[in-house]
Amino acid sequence: MMRDLATVAIVGAGPAGLVIGHMLQRAGISFVLLERHLQADLARRPKAGLIEYRTVQLLRAAGIADSILEFSAPNHRCEFRTPLESAVLDYSALTGGRPHYIYPQHLLVDRLCETLTEKGADVRFAHSVEVVKQGRDGVMLSGTGEGGVRFQVACEVAVGCDGSRSAVAAAMTGLQVSERRLPVRWLAVIGEAPPLEGHTVYAAHPGGFAGQMRRGPGHARYYLEVPAGDTIADWPQQRIRDELATRLVAPGRLEAVQFSEPMFLDLRVRVIEPLQQGRLFLAGDAAHLLTPAGGKGMNLAIQDAIELARGLIDRFAPDRNGSRLAAYSERRLPVIWRTQAFSGWFLHIILASLHDGDEPGAATPGGFALGLRNGWVRALQDDPLLARWFAHAYAGVDQK
């Protein structure tokens, strides 16, 4: 069995784990990053793609934006559509010219992995952490590496960035887990053609929600609200094409588009409290799950990572100041809950089918919920104070 030592062990090479790795490397703090997937597989996992203005500023201060990640594709507007009307909100104008930036998560992860390994960081792919044990003097992680070789890593601190089934979270006791599963399922596909519009589109239709998210000049990610019992086989290319054209009110505009990488998203939310216990810490999806509404998940994970990395750097600097690290959970949880609140509210804006409660028809498109959704969209158009609040919360800009 292989056994190694490191100051910090990071479990999971998603956006959070990789950002922490970059910041620790710049600070000269030893770490090992353990990722259960192969590096090539990470680059084939399309997910989120909108980076908030606030996140870019934090990455710039951390020395990652501009030097490693180039944010050159802004998104200034979002559009709300129904079969009868369209409302375009220029949220960048309402925030003083502060947009989102388009950077698909799998490309961001690939770039961060590439640069981290080029700099000689200890990143180990195909290493699955199975057991985490915390002791008075450190943490021991054990699992299975490439080729079935067993390994152990001893460290002072372990950070779980390993998703909703985190091995680090499993080693923490007495956690409070607040969780909710929503009666909504989305089908997500990649359109192999330029986006229909040069901005984000949210469409509420009596048949259910549809959305278009830009992923670059030649691709877009599309969402369709679908019945919970559907399978991928129920959604051949032509059905996807027809349903998107109907709900996005885009007749004839998708006929030549090919769709790839279909996957289902079952919407659920979760927050774990606290985010730290002794020498164990959580960030990203290991700490919280959000709906895709508003594009907040990757942003929240990166923001967790930057705050946690700053605490770790202070803790393992020569003066060993652990005050910021000790306050990590206290500092992040209010932000997490505020973001959950916005994402939950926004989900009700874009879904014409979502009801609160368990009454019959809780996920039936149309009806009263459609009227409420139309009411909110009209309020965003007519109330400048509401529009300003939405623009800042959506784009990730602090109001001053």
| Of 210 and 362, more confident | 210
% of the chain beyond a pLDDT of 90 = 74
Q: What's the CA gap between 283 and 240, in Å, rounded?
A: 35
The answer to whether residue 361 scores a pLDDT higher than 60 is no
Burial 232-249 (b: 16+ CB within 10 A, else e): eeebeeeebbebbbbbbb
Section 263-272 average pLDDT = 94
Residues 6+ apart with CB under 8 A from 284: 12, 14, 15, 16, 17, 161, 163, 300, 301, 304, 305
pTM of the model: 0.93
pLDDT (0 to 100) of residue 2: 55
Which one, of 70, 66, 56, 62, lies nearest residue 100 by Cα? Answer: 56
CA angle 209-261-290, nearest 5°?
A: 50
Section 371-396 average pLDDT = 90
Least confident window among 115-119, 167-171, 369-373, 395-399: 369-373
Q: What's the CA gap between 80 and 349, in Å, rounded?
A: 9
With tokens 């698909």, the residue in question is 104
% of the chain beyond a pLDDT of 70 = 93
| Of 146 and 303, more confident | 303
Query: CB of 106 within 8 A of CB of 47?
Result: yes
Distances (CA, A) of 357 to 160, 306, 336, 363: 33, 37, 23, 10
The type of residue at 333 is L
Q: What is the pLDDT of residues 49-103, one digit of tens each?
A: 899 999 999 999 999 999 999 999 999 999 998 888 889 999 999 999 999 999 9
